[in-house]
Amino acid sequence: MNKGMITAVTTIGLAQFIKIPIKKIKTGKWDWGTFVETGGMPSSHSAGVTSLATFIALKRGVPTIDFALASVFGLIVMYDAQGIRRQTGELTIAVNEMEEKIERLRGDKDHHFHDKKERRLKEMLGHQPEEVLGGALFGILTGAIGHLLTKKK
């Protein structure tokens, strides 16, 4: 049984679950679908890779190749989560608004049809930097807890 993997995957699940009450606080509505959505606070991507790197650092040590690999891949994942994926989300917002803008340019009256449209592209793909940081801090905590729980006495 790979305890580092279990720690990381459990952390990802916990981070996804934490998004539900955070969204409730922000919107006033319970949205259980948030559990399977991307984006939001905290970043489960950051939490997962940071928990793994923390677990490895505590189990094997910082000067090991294992920690180096987990850290470098973790940094790439976090950069991607807040950079490229967030930009993709912002581009998607523009695409979703494009049809409505074209109708306005034609002079058509806005009947708010597009606001109610069911097949819109998913806009929340990436993370804001604070969401990545929140996930990383959560991952450090869960990685340390995972190490303590699996440590042999």
Q: Which tens digit of pLDDT belongs to each residue from 43-80?
A: 999 999 999 999 999 999 999 999 999 999 999 998 88
Cis status of the peptide bond prior to 63, with omega within 30 of 0 = no
Contact 119, 112 (CB under 8 A): no
Could you give the C-alpha distances from 68 to 61, 63, 73, in angstroms and in order? 10, 8, 9
Tokens representing 10 are 């459990």
Between the two ends of the chain, the Cα-to-Cα distance in Å is 18
Which tens digit of pLDDT belongs to each residue from 77-107? Answer: 988 887 776 667 667 777 767 777 777 777 7
pLDDT exceeds cutoff 60 at 113: no
Could you give the C-alpha distances from 3 to 7, 76, 90, in angstroms and in order? 6, 23, 37
pTM, to two decimals: 0.74
Q: Cα 36 from chain centroid?
A: 10
